[in-house]
Structure 1
Amino acid sequence: MAGSKCVRLSGELAKQLLASVDSVLFDCDGVIWRGDQAIPGAPRVIELLKEHGKKVFFVTNNSTKTRKMYVDKMSTLGFNASEDEVFGTAYCSAIYLKTVCKLQGKVYLIGSNAMKQELEAVGIQQTGLGPDHIFGKQTDWANVPLEPDVKAVLVGFDEHFSYMKLNRALQYLTRMDCLFVGTNRDTRLPLEGGTAVPGTGCLLQAVETAAQRQAATVGKPSRFMFDCVASKFHVEPGRCLMVGDRLDTDIMLGSNCGLKTLLTLTGVSTVAEAEANQKSGCSERQGMVPDYYVESIADLLPALQG
């Protein structure tokens, strides 16, 4: 199965690929669902993979949902999944702070209620959730009250992001022993109809610029998200397939971790973009070239049913 990359997957080749893997990682939005609609055939693909003895996991950069919230959504859309199979950045950032950073203290959170819940589930307290309204003058902002037991700043998606939150994060991060972690660097969130809204990466870059510090990130394409799965379920990289719709996150994660990669065209990226990366001669862009592509993951059904 070695050779050229960005190959259309079908027929006997699809059977060979599936036979060569024990575990499959799926991105969610744009891969198994779009918005609030399942991709046609996707629930059956997941079901058949499990019937064939494959381990299936769901890895998403979205930090606005807990694992339970994802399982509830999947159930509504016809998927059978457990919390153990879901790895979102709300959960992974909590695990990172707990196990890698061994955080002893509280988190200043720029993020969602889901992130608060996942932090608290591993015993980490937070402050900062919700709006932080501006007050006073610039001298007041520079001397804003800080909680002494805050030992980390965590940045995820936050609909209440504001100048005062940015300022408060800066003040915490002037303490050099304060850890700095971001969920992911996605700069845009594509919506149905070709529109988009700013993503977490925009908020994270703002904090990095203000603090003049670089955050560690846990989401795709950082290998930490795969490490979360691999350490818990003993997943062997060489026998694992990453399925995604974004070259810069999903496919790059697979490349970073030595996984086989499959691009599905029901989401963001296109074959033309993948081929342009392949022809670029740029080593970083080569990491954004999938091994295979399909129009939809439903294209795997014949190989699974045969």
Structure 2
Amino acid sequence: MYKQTCTNLLNLTPVEVTAWLNSFDAVISDCDGVLWVYGNAIGGSVDTMNQLKKMGKSIYFCTNNSTKTRAELLAKGVELGFQITEEGIISTAHATAEYLKHRNFNKCVYIIGSEGIAQELDAVGIRHTRVGPDVMQGNLGEFMAKHLKLDSNIGAVVVGFDEHFSFPKMTKAASYLSDPNCLFIATNTDERFPMPSFVVPGSGSFVNAIKTCAEREPFVIGKPNPAICESLIKHKKINPARTLMIGDRANTDILLGYNCGFQTLLVGTGIHHLCDVQRWKRSTNPEDKKLIPDVYLPKLGDLLPAIVNTMTHGSY
């Protein structure tokens, strides 16, 4: 229904919106930029998600944010008023730990990231290096001669968001990755987080730096890699054709939907907007076509009146 047309739901009739609402049973939503921004719920998002759950939809929150554990993300969602459970939280920090656990990983992980990754690794009994600052001491020669110390038991390098990213960390990561048996894992590749007057580098910026230096490609845990939703599909908790993916970033959220065979909804409260979609429609690059969503809304809360109308007068 409306496959890759970027149809504005606000331009549809109530009957058409009701038919669309009835076309999916599960909802997977991105968090930052869709449900909340700067820790504050976006207007109407709480009521919209809770009403979708009341309609009988299965609800999942899926985030590339590796700085928080599932428990922390659950606490944040509940505090904002979302009716969500820990099983409904899909996070890259937790997924990274589960990925290593299922591989029976028994060595030590070198982390470029934050406490979210460390705590999720702790939860499954996987050893890791400390997170936090690792600053350059002296000049390059002094650093290499006196301060560069490598752990011989590192079996994986995990790269996520790290506000303490540094030259020593990049040097150590690339050195570990010179061993082809050392796993190279990226929690996600989100490039940046635009703010009103500046830009914050995202995990993808750090991943690309390590990738360039190590001359290796990472295995990406998070969106748009279908692996992030593999368990839901494998255990038949969702039917891809009747699952809606909601996001604000096309090259992660919408592309995940494309890769998994989900329906897709782009909201204009985050990274990508209608002007971006128009550019992709004009592009001759087939990869750009994958970024075009099925439907669009200025914000998720705009769906609330249609849901209420459907629950009152329509079938669901």
TM-score of the superposed pair, with normalisation by structure 1: 0.93
The more displaced of 236-245 and 102-111 is 102-111
Question: Cα offset for 1:229?
Answer: 3.5
Q: 2:184 — aligned with what?
A: 180
2:169 is the counterpart of 1:165: yes
Summarize the Cα distance change of 1:179–1:4 in structure 2 as closer, same or farther, 3 Å threshold.
Answer: closer
In structure 2, runs of 5+ residues without a counterpart are 310-316
- Percent of aligned positions with the same letter in both sequences? 40
Question: Cα offset for 1:232?
Answer: 5.2
Q: 2:117 — aligned with what?
A: 115
8 Å contact from structure 1 (residues 141, 167) kept in 2: no
Report the AA paired with residue 152 of structure 1: A
2:275 is the counterpart of 1:272: yes
Classify the secondary structure of the residue corresponding to 1:225. Answer: helix
Question: Cα offset for 1:14?
Answer: 2.3
8 Å contact from structure 1 (residues 238, 259) kept in 2: yes
- Partners of 2:7 and 2:77 in 1: CA distance: 30
Classify the secondary structure of the residue corresponding to 2:244. Answer: strand
Q: 1:202 — aligned with what?
A: 205
8 Å contact from structure 1 (residues 23, 55) kept in 2: yes
Q: 1:104 — aligned with what?
A: 106
C-alpha deviations, 1:255-280, integer Å up to 9, x for none? Answer: 11111000111112111211221221
C-alpha deviations, 1:70-128, integer Å up to 9, x for none? Answer: 111112222122111111111111122222x4422110111101110011112211114
8 Å contact from structure 2 (residues 3, 263) kept in 1: no
- Partners of 1:22 and 1:299 in 2: CA distance: 20
The more displaced of 163-172 and 229-238 is 229-238
C-alpha deviations, 1:187-210, integer Å up to 9, x for none? Answer: 11122x253211111111111111
Classify the secondary structure of the residue corresponding to 1:261. Answer: strand
Give 1:89's match in structure 2, choosing from 83, 89, 92. 92
8 Å contact from structure 1 (residues 157, 203) kept in 2: yes
Question: Cα offset for 1:149?
Answer: 2.1
2:145 is the counterpart of 1:145: no
Q: 2:63 — aligned with what?
A: 60
8 Å contact from structure 2 (residues 2, 294) kept in 1: no
Q: 2:36 — aligned with what?
A: 33
Give 1:44's match in structure 2, choosing from 43, 47, 51. 47
Give the alignment of 1:281-292 within 5 angstroms.
281-292=284-295
Give 1:235's match in structure 2, choosing from 234, 238, 242. 238
Deviating 4+ runs (over 4 angstroms): none
- Partners of 2:239 and 2:90 in 1: CA distance: 17
Classify the secondary structure of the residue corresponding to 1:213. Answer: coil
Q: 2:312 — aligned with what?
A: none
Summarize the Cα distance change of 1:281–1:133 in structure 2 as closer, same or farther, 3 Å threshold.
Answer: closer
Q: 1:18 — aligned with what?
A: 21
Question: Cα offset for 1:4?
Answer: 6.3
Report the AA paired with residue 246 of structure 1: R
Q: 2:314 — aligned with what?
A: none
8 Å contact from structure 2 (residues 277, 292) kept in 1: yes
8 Å contact from structure 1 (residues 31, 264) kept in 2: yes
Report the AA paired with residue 169 of structure 1: A
Q: 1:5 — aligned with what?
A: 5
Q: 2:158 — aligned with what?
A: 154
Question: Cα offset for 1:139?
Answer: 7.7
Question: Cα offset for 1:293?
Answer: 0.2
Classify the secondary structure of the residue corresponding to 1:220. Answer: coil
Give 1:261's match in structure 2, choosing from 264, 277, 281. 264
The more displaced of 261-270 and 126-135 is 126-135
Q: 1:134 — aligned with what?
A: 136
Q: 1:295 — aligned with what?
A: 298
Report the AA paired with residue 172 of structure 1: Y
